Amino acid sequence: DIVMTQSPDSLAVSLGERATINCKSSQSVLYSSNNKNYLAWYQQKPGQPPKLLIYWASTRESGVPDRFSGSGSGTDFTLTISSLQAEDVAVYYCQQYYSTPPGFGQGTRLEIK
């Protein structure tokens, strides 16, 4: 199984500042035949189901604010929130769908400093 490891486990950022969350996979999730990284990012707020933010490592889901961006390739990925808003307080998860089982990272809790 591919193991997904996020860092840090928790993060406190001031309003308007940049937040960066990292995700590392135990093996590459880049499929060479189509040059796509099989990696998604989710946001989960308390009492709610997860919400898809980013897929194919960098494609923003419809309706997601453009302050959210995804980058990286192979085994190392980053979710960046360019200017933190109060409503961005949540737990963020990365997930690989390169192989079964499509595992999740352990989550990163984002708070306001």
Partner 1 sequence: QVQLVQSGAEVKKPGASVKVSCKASGYTFTSYYMHWVRQAPGQGLEWMGIINPSGGSTSYAQKFQGRVTMTRDTSTSTVYMELSSLRSEDTAVYYCARDLEVGATSGMDVWGQGTTVTVSS
37 binds partner 1 (CB under 8 A): no
Relative to beta strand 59-60, strand 39-44 is unpaired
Size of residue set near partner 1 by CB under 8 A: 22
CB of 105: closest distance to partner 1 in angstroms? 8
CB of 102: closest distance to partner 1 in angstroms? 5
User: Tokens 């959210």 correspond to what residue?
Assistant: 68
Distance CA 70, CA 43 (A): 13
Nearer Cβ to partner 1, position 16 or 34?
A: 34
Nearer Cβ to partner 1, position 16 or 47?
A: 47
Distance CA 92, CA 78 (A): 11
